[in-house]
Structure 1
Amino acid sequence: MVDNIKLFVTKEMKISEFTEYLRKIEKSSKIKIINSNIDNNSVIIRKLILYRDDYIHTENIKNLNHHFLRVDLIYYKNKSNLQVTINNSFRKWYFGKNSMNDFKKNKFLDCIELISNNLNLHMKDLLKAKITQIEIGLNIRLQPNFNNGFNCIAYHKSYKTPTCYNSSTVSFHNSYNKMIFYDKLNELKSRNTLSSRATGKIGKRYSFVRYELSFNKVSGDKFTKINLNSLKKLINNWDMCLIKLYNELKKTVFINYLTPKIAEDVINNITDVNSLNLFIAIKSLNPVKYFSLLRNIKPNNKTYELLKAKKMYDELNQNKGETYERIFIRAVKKRIEKISPEIQLL
């Protein structure tokens, strides 16, 4: 459920304790030091990369095959305290960057405990961490060729008009948050984390849609400011986050003129494109208004034209099958209830 997080924790520490702490950290086989260290009269900064498993010391930092967490250690000499900032995708770090898994609460707790051990921080201290940015989301497995569903996502009642809209991504933005839907297999292919052959093979069996709510300023959103401004609150309000994902999806408006069944019939030439365009026009205008308009502008052969249009409309309307909206919402509901069986969504 949780993906990218940026958080920080502050701990009182004498300079001698920090020196010893840094020595232990730098000996870890899971940590790589980045050459951007700063030492002056007021602060000591160490930038680290934390791996899930032991990293290969000889590997070029730009060509790493692992996923990692970025860690900044900032020691304030005048305050005698250490600030540890951690960010990146906790989900990819824990499960692997090609994984479609989403966190269950117990797995997320295990992830936090691993980070605690690797960074030599007490779990009780890490749980006090303040969250400044967070993404919550789900990987949804669907039937193949679900891409036309992106064309049916119209708008969200609480967001501005789409800022990204294409055949594999739809996103809506506000000042401090974002809602996004995108083709997960296409992302893995474009980032070269999976080969075209592998994504093609998987794509014949399934589609994977990533649905996320991203908050780039936790303090700027009422929900996150109250419920997700610390690691402890995130864990305590785990189910609330899942319900938030579901409720925001339910507020999303879909255009339900195109369905998987209609799209398949067009692809297989069972339904021609002109008939589909006419069907969408009738739906958009409202069938009663459309046929009333047709009577007025088609004085010659209007009976034939009306019957032809009505027959086409009735055939498509009766055989259109389930909408993308219904299919997607049902899949999200199923995913949420699998992650947290205690949740029963309507």
Structure 2
Amino acid sequence: MVDNITIYIDNYITGRSSKREWCQYVPKVKEGKKPLPKKYHYFRRRLYNNKRNSFLLLSLRYDDTKDIFRLRINGSVKKWYLNGNTLEDLTKPQYEDCIKTIAEKIATPYSELLNSRNTKIETGFTICLKAKFTDLLKNFVWYKNFERIEEDETTIYFRGEYYSFILYEKNIEIKSKNRTVKNDCIATEKPINFTKSYLRFEVKVNRICGVTFYKEKANTTNKVITNWNEIVQQIQTYFKDIEFLDLDVNIDNPENITFSELKKYLIFIGIKFFGLEKVLELFNKINTGTNKTKYRNEIFSLIRSFTPPNIVLREELLCEFESKINTLSYNKHNSYSYYNKEIKQIEDKLK
């Protein structure tokens, strides 16, 4: 469930690790920000996992006035703990063990790391789908007033001020997994054909303090563990709230219809012709006063009315999502889900 994190330990004691491991550097000053105080000095190093195929970045800030070190840990704990890019998702026991392992490697008490501050967190699920879902990304069309960005027909972003969503076809990464990298040269083996596809949904919180739920439930490492199931359910809520519309439907020319039905038919044909993204772009330029939500929902409702009842993409998708939710909600009798075991078997075939 948890992927990327940014953690701060505000009073970190460095005497327990070799100073030779740290390299001093000068951070770049962000545009519009004040120059960095001269009292601060910065150091960093990589914290590799046991197989040395993934690392977390450790950054130290030393305050020579107060004689205090602050440690920042950031990177993908999922890749770090599960040894690279994988279809698996961290379960709660795995995440706890990951935090304990990090604490051991940086010579810090586990309790101290539990109480550390979280400023950013990225969570998500990989869902195994039937092959027919390959082109479903385009059907995720709207979420609140977030900016929708489509990239290479394989990735969609919904970007907000403090948090964003990412949906992409994970199977593309799977197919690229059977590559070997050595001395910056990539040798690609015979590609593997898959009968299933994999949808990855991620919630990326760039400022935990700016999102009420995460500020209350996930602003420390200990809270992430304590509120694990609530965070899982929150991801599901976000996913359900994304407007999902299937425009890829073929309808016959209407017969024996009323004038009102004809108008709706022509509007639907117009939406398909221009594309919903263009229609929403034009819609946002219209002065609708306080009726913006009402009129937008009318557009969405009209599109749904032309979706045949036998097409239930969203329902099937939500069913698969619900199944994955159940595997990641903590169960002391099933700490390593059957889903992750099945995924592991698939990945072993790639090695």
- Same fold at TM > 0.5: yes
Structure with greater helix share of residues: 1
Distance across 1 between alignment mates of 2:317 and 2:258:
25
Contact 1:11 1:125 in 2 (8 A): no
Q: 1:287 to 1:204 in 2, by over 3 A?
A: farther
Residue number among 30, 45, 50 corresponding to 2:47 in the alignment: 50
The answer to whether residue 194 in structure 2 is matched with residue 208 in structure 1 is no
Q: Displacement, 1:317?
A: 3.6
Deviating more after overlay: 146-155 vs 119-128: 146-155
2:76 counterpart of 1:125: no
What secondary structure, in the 3-state scheme, does the structure 1 residue paired with 2:102 have? Answer: helix
Closer, same or farther: CA 255–89 of 1 in aligned 2, 3 Å: same
Q: CA deviation at 1:234?
A: 1.1
Cα distance in 2, alignment partners of residues 237 and 286 from structure 1:
54
* Distance change (3 Å), C-alpha of 1:189 and 1:34: farther
The structure that has the greater radius of gyration is: 1
Q: Which residue of 2 aligns with 1:234?
A: 224
Cα distance in 1, alignment partners of residues 258 and 126 from structure 2: 35
Counterpart residue number, 1:327: 316
Q: Secondary structure at the match of 1:121?
A: coil
- In structure 2, C-alpha distance between the alignment counterparts of 1:287 and 1:133, rounded to whole Å: 54
| Matches of 2:220 and 2:264, distance apart in 1 | 59
What SS does structure 2 have at the residue aligned with 1:99? coil
CA distance in 2, matches of 1:138, 1:36: 35
Q: 1:96/1:225 Cα in 2 relative to 1: closer, same or farther (>3 Å)?
A: same
Deviation sequence 1:88-130 (CA, Å, 0-9, x none)? 1110111122211111111000000010000011111111111
1:71 alignment counterpart: 58
* CA distance in structure 1 between the partners assigned to 2:220 and 2:127 by the alignment: 27
Q: Is the 8 A contact 1:37 1:47 kept in 2?
A: no
Q: CA RMSD in A?
A: 3.4
TM-score normalised by length of structure 1: 0.70
- Distance (whole Å) between structure 2 residues aligned to residue 168 and residue 79 of structure 1: 49
- Residue 81 of structure 1: aligned partner: 68
Question: In structure 1, what is the Cα distance between the partners aligned to 2:125 and 2:69?
Answer: 34
The residue number in structure 2 matching 1:289 is: 261
User: What is the aligned counterpart of 2:172 among 183, 186, 200?
Assistant: 186
Structure 1 residues 305-324: aligned runs within 5 Å: 317=308, 320-321=310-311, 323-324=312-313
Preserved contact between residue 179 and residue 189 of structure 2 (Cα < 8 Å): no
Q: From the superposition, tell whether residues 184 and 11 of structure 1 become closer, same or farther in structure 2 (CA, over 3 Å).
A: same
Helix, strand or coil for the counterpart of 2:209? helix
CA–CA distance in 2 between the matches of 1:193 and 1:113?
Answer: 31
| Deviations 1:184-228, CA, capped at 9 Å, x for gaps | 122455688688657x52x52221111011111111111112211
The normalised TM-score by structure 2 is 0.69
Find the counterpart in structure 2 of residue 10 from structure 1: 10
Question: 1:45–1:336: structure 2 CA closer, same or farther, 3 Å change rule?
Answer: same
Paired with 2:258 and 2:4, the residues of 1 have a C-alpha distance of: 43
Instruction: Could you tell me which runs of 5 or more consecutive residues in structure 1 were left unpaired when the two chains were aligned.
Output: 27-31, 56-65, 259-275, 295-315
Q: Is the 8 A contact 1:69 1:86 kept in 2?
A: yes
Aligned residues: 275
TM-fit CA distance, 1:72: 0.7
- Residue 139 (structure 1) shift: 0.9
Distance 1:286 1:46 in 2: 73
The correspondence for 2:160, drawn from 169, 174, 196, is: 174
- Amino acid in structure 1 at the alignment position of 2:167: F
Structure 1 residue 144 corresponds to structure 2 residue 131 = yes
Deviation at residue 235 of structure 1 after TM alignment: 1.1
**Is the CA contact (8 Å cut-off) linking 1:6 and 1:131 kept in structure 2?**
yes
- 1:263 corresponds in structure 2 to none
Task: Provide Cα deviations, 1:124-161, integer angstroms capped at 9, x if missing partner.
Answer: 111111111111100111122422111211212x3424
The residue aligned with 2:16 is 21
- Equivalent residue letter for 2:47: L
Q: Kindly provide the amino acid, as one letter, of the partner of residue 65 in structure 2.
A: N
User: In the superposition, relative to structure 1, how do residues 236 and 286 fare at CA in structure 2: closer, same or farther (>3 Å)?
Assistant: farther
Shift of 1:74: 2.2
SS in 1 for 2:56: strand
Q: CA deviation at 1:291?
A: 9.1
Distance 1:341 1:70, change over 3 A: closer
Percent of residue pairs bearing the same amino acid type: 23
Secondary structure in structure 2 of the residue aligned to 1:247: helix
Runs (5+) with no aligned partner, structure 2: 28-36, 181-186, 267-306, 332-351
